Amino acid sequence: MSDVQRRSATITLRYDDDKQKVIVVDAGEDRFVFSVAEAVRACRVYDQLGIVRFRGQFESLLDYLGDWLAKHKEHVSKAVLTTRDAGLLFLVCTRKPEFDEAFEDELTTLDLSVARNDDFGLIRLSVLGIPDDSPSSINCFADPDKTWTYVS
């Protein structure tokens, strides 16, 4: 029997081919052995958790927020996306230290547009503007280990 490893090819598993076994090796070299039927069921559970759909929505959200920032760059000194207990936080640091009602309305519009967009149905996002882009101010709201910083 030969040991076949495929790195770039697609492998097709048929549910009814239950005599075949699937070996999955993770990054830590742990090995998991499943029947094909068990592997298919595991994929269904994975998809039911919404992980694949969430990842796609998250990547689209990154682009959506980047596009929004490009349109509002005259008002923004820095922006980060971070995790929070209830979801994600898009933290926008404004260029001006004083309150700008028109820009706050833009932030509210952004918040509502993401919340109402079916393309982001699995994402819970809050939007917040602050006037200070210092690391200490940002770290009051952001988890430094789980933060994406937008660079203009």
**pLDDT tens digits for range 53-104:** 888 999 999 999 999 999 999 999 999 999 987 799 999 999 999 999 999 9
Contacts of 147 (CB under 8 A, 6+ apart): 80, 81, 82, 83, 138
Report which of residues 22 and 108 the model is more confident about.
108
The angle at the Cα of 86, spanning 82 to 91, to the nearest 5 degrees, equals 30
Indicate the pTM of the whole model.
Answer: 0.69
Decide: residue 46, CB within 10 A, 0-12 exposed, 13-18 middle, 19+ buried.
exposed
